[in-house]
Amino acid sequence: MNGNQELPSMGSGELASLPIQLQALEIIDDILSGADPGEAGVRESLNRHVAMHPGQPEKALLMHMLTVRRPFQDQGRGP
Protein backbone atom coordinates (compact mmCIF):
# COMPACT_ATOMS: atom_id res chain seq x y z
CA MET A 1 0.00 0.00 0.00
CA ASN A 2 1.11 3.53 -0.56
CA GLY A 3 1.02 4.54 3.10
CA ASN A 4 -2.16 6.62 2.94
CA GLN A 5 -4.31 3.91 4.46
CA GLU A 6 -3.96 1.85 7.58
CA LEU A 7 -5.54 -1.47 8.34
CA PRO A 8 -8.83 -1.04 10.16
CA SER A 9 -8.84 -1.41 13.92
CA MET A 10 -10.07 -4.76 15.16
CA GLY A 11 -12.86 -3.76 17.53
CA SER A 12 -15.64 -6.08 18.59
CA GLY A 13 -17.93 -7.06 15.75
CA GLU A 14 -15.62 -5.67 13.06
CA LEU A 15 -13.90 -8.97 12.29
CA ALA A 16 -16.73 -10.07 9.97
CA SER A 17 -16.29 -7.03 7.73
CA LEU A 18 -12.51 -7.37 7.46
CA PRO A 19 -12.44 -9.10 4.04
CA ILE A 20 -14.43 -6.31 2.37
CA GLN A 21 -12.26 -3.71 4.09
CA LEU A 22 -9.13 -5.37 2.76
CA GLN A 23 -10.61 -5.52 -0.73
CA ALA A 24 -11.52 -1.84 -0.52
CA LEU A 25 -7.99 -1.01 0.63
CA GLU A 26 -6.54 -2.87 -2.36
CA ILE A 27 -8.82 -1.00 -4.77
CA ILE A 28 -8.02 2.33 -3.12
CA ASP A 29 -4.30 1.59 -3.32
CA ASP A 30 -4.58 0.72 -7.03
CA ILE A 31 -6.38 3.97 -7.78
CA LEU A 32 -4.09 6.17 -5.69
CA SER A 33 -0.93 4.63 -7.12
CA GLY A 34 -1.98 5.53 -10.67
CA ALA A 35 0.11 8.07 -12.55
CA ASP A 36 -2.25 9.16 -15.34
CA PRO A 37 -2.44 12.98 -15.18
CA GLY A 38 -5.99 12.80 -16.53
CA GLU A 39 -7.08 10.93 -13.42
CA ALA A 40 -5.59 13.36 -10.89
CA GLY A 41 -9.05 14.63 -9.97
CA VAL A 42 -10.23 11.10 -9.31
CA ARG A 43 -7.28 10.50 -6.99
CA GLU A 44 -7.92 13.78 -5.17
CA SER A 45 -11.57 12.86 -4.69
CA LEU A 46 -10.68 9.43 -3.34
CA ASN A 47 -8.08 10.91 -0.98
CA ARG A 48 -10.74 13.28 0.39
CA HIS A 49 -13.15 10.43 1.03
CA VAL A 50 -10.46 8.31 2.69
CA ALA A 51 -9.67 11.25 4.99
CA MET A 52 -13.37 11.78 5.75
CA HIS A 53 -13.89 8.10 6.67
CA PRO A 54 -10.79 6.97 8.58
CA GLY A 55 -10.78 3.25 9.35
CA GLN A 56 -13.71 2.70 6.95
CA PRO A 57 -12.16 2.11 3.53
CA GLU A 58 -15.30 0.44 2.19
CA LYS A 59 -17.38 3.51 3.04
CA ALA A 60 -14.75 5.85 1.60
CA LEU A 61 -14.68 3.86 -1.64
CA LEU A 62 -18.48 3.77 -1.87
CA MET A 63 -18.81 7.51 -1.31
CA HIS A 64 -16.08 8.16 -3.87
CA MET A 65 -17.78 5.93 -6.44
CA LEU A 66 -21.09 7.69 -5.91
CA THR A 67 -19.55 11.12 -6.44
CA VAL A 68 -17.58 10.22 -9.57
CA ARG A 69 -20.55 8.39 -11.06
CA ARG A 70 -22.98 11.30 -10.84
CA PRO A 71 -21.36 13.46 -13.55
CA PHE A 72 -21.62 10.58 -16.03
CA GLN A 73 -25.27 10.01 -15.15
CA ASP A 74 -25.98 13.70 -15.62
CA GLN A 75 -24.50 13.49 -19.12
CA GLY A 76 -26.61 10.46 -19.99
CA ARG A 77 -23.66 8.07 -20.10
CA GLY A 78 -24.33 6.14 -16.90
CA PRO A 79 -26.86 3.45 -16.06
CA atoms of 47 and 50, how far apart (whole Å): 5
Give tens-digit pLDDT for 32-63.
Answer: 999 999 999 999 999 999 999 999 999 999 99
Asked if the structure places residue 50 within a domain, the reply is yes
Asked if the structure places residue 8 within a domain, the reply is no
63: which residues sit within 8 A by CB, 6+ positions away?
49, 52, 53
Q: How confident is the model at residue 1 (pLDDT cuts 50, 70, 90)?
A: very low
CA atoms of 43 and 12, how far apart (whole Å): 32
Asked if the structure places residue 1 within a domain, the reply is no
Task: Determine the structural domain holding residue 36 and report its residue range.
Answer: 18-74
Asked if the structure places residue 2 within a domain, the reply is no
Asked if the structure places residue 10 within a domain, the reply is no
Structural domain total, the chain: 1
Asked if the structure places residue 79 within a domain, the reply is no
Query: Which contacts qualify for 45-50: CB closer than 8 Å, 24 or more apart?
Result: 47/4, 50/4, 50/5
Asked if the structure places residue 9 within a domain, the reply is no
